Chains A and B, each alone.
Chain A
Amino acid sequence: MGLDVGKFMKNPEYEIKIITYRDIFQVEALERDRFGKDYEKLSAFIGMSKNDMAKMGLKSGDRVKVANNNGSIVVEVRESRRDEPGGVAFMVNSPWSNVLVSDDMGGKGIPEFKNITAKISLVKEEITSLESLMEYFRKLKQV
């Protein structure tokens, strides 16, 4: 039986800039049930241009780890429906994107919700659930 070398190789990481935005369908799902599957599906993804995805060897539906010094999440990558020039990725404003936002406000008390830098890489892990985000806080409470 041959050794599966790929198993031990780390997928390449790429630096990306993320802009957050609002989506009416996600807001509707939030109003109905913020713990529901619809809200999760409409929040836990990152949109990228076709070109950027090709450069990074990603295809729609792949799971990616998006991480920086503030935290790390696994979300689905989707090709943007719009004709984006590339260089910037997009996430709907949500508890998922908020994992990546810095606590450095530059003194103005306004976090950089729309100016996130992170590293993205292909993974096989499960998409981060809202329950696992809640678990993070529950653990903090127990400390």
Chain B
Amino acid sequence: MATCPGCALLCDDIDVIVENNRIKETRNACRRGAARMKGCFNRLAPSIAQKPVDIESAIRKAAEILKVAKSPMLFGFSNSTCEAQVKGIQLAKKLGAIIDDTSSFCQGLLIETIFQEKFRTCMLEDVRNKADVLVYWGSDAQDSEPRHLSRFSYFPRGESRQRGYEEDRIAVAIDVRESNTAKICKGHFYRIQPKGDREFILALTDALSGKVPAYEPKKILELAAILKKAEFGVIFAGIGLTYSIKEDMEILVALADKLSNFHIMPMVGHYNMRGFNENLFKETGFVNRVKFEGKAVQHSPAEVLDTPSRGVTLVHDDKYSIVEALRNESIDALLVAGSDPLSSLPRSLVRHLASIPVICIDPCVTMTSKITAVTIPCAVSGVESGGTAVRMDGKKIELSKIIESDYPTDEELLTRLMEAL
């Protein structure tokens, strides 16, 4: 059995058929997972200024760029193993750099709230065995984490839910569109207006407090009744919800306080985004957007690290998010590991990428890799190399090495880069 690195469900029940050191077929994997495991069409090659070189030269050039940069940034890491993420954090400390990951414009806010223990949360096995009311809020799991409903939440027979979805479980969808997940939640789909989550949460909080909600009272009271009856409820919070209430996560905390039998779980796309959040949180107390200031004299408990002689402090600020750093043009070099900002960020923001040297570590050619100063190919983690990753609920999962590869792992590349520095 292999583990799929397609999304943060990290399904560990995948059968693979290997032929000539290539994955010919996968069984049990979803479309996304199967495509990830079978590999991309365009593998990245090492280059400097878009001209082919050997990997060693590319690493040396990357080190040169980072060494002379006054304000370097490291970004990505949500598609990297925990081991590579730890190396990335060490590299950021060594450089006195900013480090941020994709959670910065995804589920970081929600995950930080969970780490601060403001919500009750649970494991996916608890969901399978105990959950009777499942609320998909701003989350289309069927398209983003396609085996969520079949492996863990709605369809399986769990220890206390032997009658499964037919009798024992109710699935609810709250969304701006009738997603594929909402279609499964037939009869319990609550359509909200764009950015209407706040109004909906406040109305639901009123209904749970015995007040008549100001907004769609009949539907809200009906939903409140379902939630109140839950023995083990879970709100699967998608980015639709997080984006909509990003200025006021506290209203979700207040709603959770009214629902004593409920748990909140972030729906995470990238396979090890939560791993990065955990690793950085362990080191700094923050899940993303951190700057290590190498020249600072002051010491603090957070400065532990492997460079104690240097005196490193850290600063956390929204201006250290990838989007603000690019918008403010405050960085002069960027290392991107396993991400494609040119593709995933607003075009209005990425202009600055054209004016600074960018180093790209990735298994595949990406939009970003096509304009970068240095490209360094790496192995596909979970396929060509093993390691550890953290599932969306916080469980550590081992990744398997399925096929042999000459490509170095991202952990190895970051180690070699540190040595070259």
0/1 interface trace, chain B 281-293, chain A, CB 8 Å (1 if under):
0000000010000
Closest Cβ of chain B to A107, distance in Å, is: 7
| In-complex Cβ contact of A102 among B140, B346, B353 (8 A) | B346
Q: Residues of B contacting A130 with CB < 8 Å?
A: 367
Whether A82 pairs with B178 at a CB distance below 8 angstroms is yes
Q: How many residues of B contact A (CB 8 A)?
A: 60
Closest Cβ of chain B to A136, distance in Å, is: 7
Most buried by B among A103, A113, A136: A103
0/1 interface trace, chain B 307-349, chain A, CB 8 Å (1 if under):
0000000000010010110010000000000001011111111
| In-complex Cβ contact of A24 among B31, B105, B109 (8 A) | B31
Closest Cβ of chain B to A51, distance in Å, is: 15
Closest Cβ of chain B to A115, distance in Å, is: 6
Q: Residues of B contacting A36 with CB < 8 Å?
A: 41
State in angstroms the CA–CA spacing of A19 and B192 once bound together: 12
The segment out of B207-215, B240-248, B298-306, B384-392 that lies at the interface is: B240-248
Whether B41 pairs with A24 at a CB distance below 8 angstroms is no
| In-complex Cβ contact of A137 among B191, B244, B342, B365 (8 A) | B342
Whether A19 pairs with B194 at a CB distance below 8 angstroms is yes
A21 within 8 A of B: yes
Whether A110 pairs with B323 at a CB distance below 8 angstroms is yes
Most buried by A among B143, B247, B350, B364: B143
Whether B346 pairs with A98 at a CB distance below 8 angstroms is yes
| In-complex Cβ contact of A70 among B178, B269, B342, B347 (8 A) | B347
Whether A114 pairs with B194 at a CB distance below 8 angstroms is yes
0/1 interface trace, chain B 41-80, chain A, CB 8 Å (1 if under):
1100000000000000000000000000000000000000
B36 within 8 A of A: yes
| In-complex Cβ contact of A31 among B40, B105, B243, B344 (8 A) | B40
State in angstroms the CA–CA spacing of A70 and B40 once bound together: 31
State in angstroms the CA–CA spacing of A140 and B347 once bound together: 12
Whether A17 pairs with B194 at a CB distance below 8 angstroms is yes
CB neighbors of B among A77-107 (8 A)? 82-85, 88, 90, 94-95, 98-99, 101-103, 105-107
B179 within 8 A of A: yes
State in angstroms the CA–CA spacing of A134 and B180 once bound together: 32
B259 within 8 A of A: no
Whether B36 pairs with A111 at a CB distance below 8 angstroms is no
Q: In chain B, what residue has the closest Cβ to A18?
A: B194
Known A-B contacts A70-B346, A103-B346; the reply to A109 vs B194 at CB < 8 A is: no
Q: In chain B, what residue has the closest Cβ to A139?
A: B354
Chain A, interface residues (CB within 8 Å), range: 35 or more
Main secondary structure of the interface of B (DSSP, over half): helix
A55 within 8 A of B: no
Q: Residues of B contacting A113 with CB < 8 Å?
A: 105, 243, 346
Q: In chain A, what residue has the closest Cβ to B365?
A: A35
Most buried by B among A71, A111, A133: A111
Closest Cβ of chain A to B198, distance in Å, is: 13
Whether A109 pairs with B324 at a CB distance below 8 angstroms is yes
CB neighbors of A among B231-251 (8 A)? 239-240, 243-244, 246-247
Q: Residues of B contacting A143 with CB < 8 Å?
A: 354
Whether B351 pairs with A25 at a CB distance below 8 angstroms is no
| In-complex Cβ contact of B243 among A82, A110, A137 (8 A) | A110
A41 within 8 A of B: no
Known A-B contacts A33-B40, A33-B42; the reply to A95 vs B342 at CB < 8 A is: yes
Closest Cβ of chain B to A119, distance in Å, is: 17
Q: Residues of A contacting B258 with CB < 8 Å?
A: none
Q: Residues of A contacting B324 with CB < 8 Å?
A: 105, 109
B104 within 8 A of A: yes
Closest Cβ of chain B to A134, distance in Å, is: 6
10 interchain pairs, CB-CB under 8 A? A19-B176, A21-B140, A22-B144, A31-B40, A85-B191, A102-B348, A105-B324, A109-B323, A109-B324, A134-B367
The 8 closest A-B pairs by CB, nearest first: A109-B321, A31-B35, A101-B346, A140-B354, A33-B41, A103-B348, A28-B31, A24-B143
